[in-house]
């Protein structure tokens, strides 16, 4: 969540004609319910700033993340 928050802040100050945030993750978080709410707020903030969000779920044996967490973006 902290990385997405930082990226949204940086992109909000960018003067590019197109701003895109590509997030790649396994969906693992120490507190998924809190992360879900925080990511939903960041999505709203990004949409208001016209920042495109793309989330990619990375799965591998041994990684037990929740891909639904990335769908919030």
Which residue ranges in the chain fall short of pLDDT 70? 62-64, 67
| Three-state secondary structure call for residue 12 | helix
**Structure confidence by residue, pLDDT tens digits, 3-23:** 999 999 999 999 999 999 999
Single pTM value for the model: 0.79
Measured CA to CA, the distance from residue 66 to residue 59 in angstroms comes to 10
Q: What is the largest CA-CA distance in the chain?
A: 40
Q: Are 51 and 20 in contact (CB under 8 A)?
A: yes
């Amino acid at each position: 969540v902290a990385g997405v928050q930082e990226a949204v802040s940086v992109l909000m100050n960018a003067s590019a004609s197109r701003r895109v945030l590509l997030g790649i993750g396994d969906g693992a978080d120490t507190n998924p319910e809190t992360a879900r709410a925080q990511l939903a707020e960041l999505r709203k903030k990004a949409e208001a700033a016209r920042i495109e969000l793309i989330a990619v779920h990375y799965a591998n044996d041994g990684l037990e993340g929740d891909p639904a967490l990335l769908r919030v973006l």
